[in-house]
Amino acid sequence: MTNRRQFLSRAGAATIGAAGAATLATPAIVKAQTAIKWRFQTYAGAALGEHVTKPIIDAINAAAKGELEIELYFADQIVPTGELFRALQAGTIDAVHSDDDSMASPAEVATFGGYFPLATKQILDVPVLFKQYGLADIWRSAYEKVGGVVWLSSSGQDPCHFNTKKPINTLADLQGLRLYTFPTAGRFLTQFGVVPVTIPYEDAQVAVQTGELDGMAWSGITEDYTVGWADVTDHFLTNNISGAWIGSFFVNEKKWAELPEHLKKLVLAAIEAGNNYRDQWYWGGEAKLRAEGTKLKLTSIPAAEWQPVEEAAKVFWKEIAEQGETAAKVVKIFEDYNAIINKAGPPYVNG
């Protein structure tokens, strides 16, 4: 009986030990944490947002596999575009795609977002300026000073042309035109008789139909066709006041700090891929629609007559540079870069 008890005791201990070993060897089953949820608003309306913002959000949502879920809102759906910065800083919105200028950013670089007059010649100038000429460091530092908002990335988009009801063949034709445009671009254009009009993005098309607007100085021809503006205006001026829109992705500082590192990398990778997509979408669209588009008639102001606009831009730059040290740094970078591409010649500038 004693031997039997010892045997059973030893057998039980062995069984418990084996069970414990099996438990240790079995991979732990970790329940998925509750998804991190962001509300994201873009400056773009729904039609344009399909190309400039939605591909990035879709990519993040797919790759995050439920860890991060971003709900996308288009222009003015949560707050008006002019209140985007304040809403982002307050946490009403978690992330934003916009230019600094139209979202009323208080950062020192805000004037340069959107369309800074004649600072760029084409879409690729923007990533070059940010990645090779130091604008990324300046933008990052500017938003650190403001606080509450983190700047993530900037990239270029389309040039800023005029699409209007009546043709523009001379500078005099700009007199009295009521145009939907960006704050800084509008400020620059007033000296040529343009009347800048600020209205919600989605109201611009109807405003042309009702006569409240004469057109837009907001985009290139790709957007004109994509969002329907080519359906309500008749003419497209090939001269532009800026070669590329400077727009950025921003996130609420607290939300970004709470995001795990692997998700931060995912978000940044998706933004970079989206930047590359927009490069080719706009660049190809601008050429194809000028060459084959049937809705807008192209007009041009001769180079000699357009020269005062270019000279006025230089004066405007100097005025902006006087606003402070940061503004002076940015203007100096624009001056240095333009000196280089002008010296390089085609294809960096027109021959």
Report d(CA 40, CA 255) in Å as an integer.
12
Neighbour tally for 334: CB within 10 Å: 23
Q: What is the pLDDT of residue 325?
A: 97
Q: What is the pLDDT of residue 8?
A: 42
Report d(CA 49, CA 17) in Å as an integer.
61
Report d(CA 242, CA 112) in Å as an integer.
11
pLDDT band with cut points at 50, 70 and 90 for residue 26: very low
Q: What is the pLDDT of residue 350?
A: 79
Higher pLDDT among residues 351 and 177, named by residue: 177
pLDDT band with cut points at 50, 70 and 90 for residue 192: very high
Q: Which domains does the chain have, with CATH numbers?
A: 36-158+245-288 (3.40.190.170), 160-242+293-344 (3.40.190.170)
pLDDT band with cut points at 50, 70 and 90 for residue 304: very high
Residue 212 has pLDDT above 80, yes or no: yes
Mean pLDDT, range 286-313, rounded to an integer: 97
Q: Are 208 and 214 in contact (CB under 8 A)?
A: yes
- Give percent of the chain above pLDDT 90: 89
Give the position of tokens 């991190």.
Answer: 36
Q: Tens digits of per-residue pLDDT, 256-270?
A: 999 999 999 999 999
Which residues have CB under 8 Å from 81's CB, separation 6+?
Answer: 43, 75, 98, 102, 103, 200, 201
Residue 342 has pLDDT above 50, yes or no: yes
Q: Are 56 and 274 in contact (CB under 8 A)?
A: yes
Radius of gyration of the chain (CA): 27
Residue 89 has pLDDT above 80, yes or no: yes
Mean pLDDT, range 38-60, rounded to an integer: 98
Report d(CA 248, CA 113) in Å as an integer.
8
Q: What is the pLDDT of residue 5?
A: 44
| Lookup: tokens for 206 | 């109807």
pLDDT band with cut points at 50, 70 and 90 for residue 326: very high
Report d(CA 329, CA 338) in Å as an integer.
14
Report d(CA 244, CA 166) in Å as an integer.
24
Mean pLDDT, range 221-234, rounded to an integer: 98
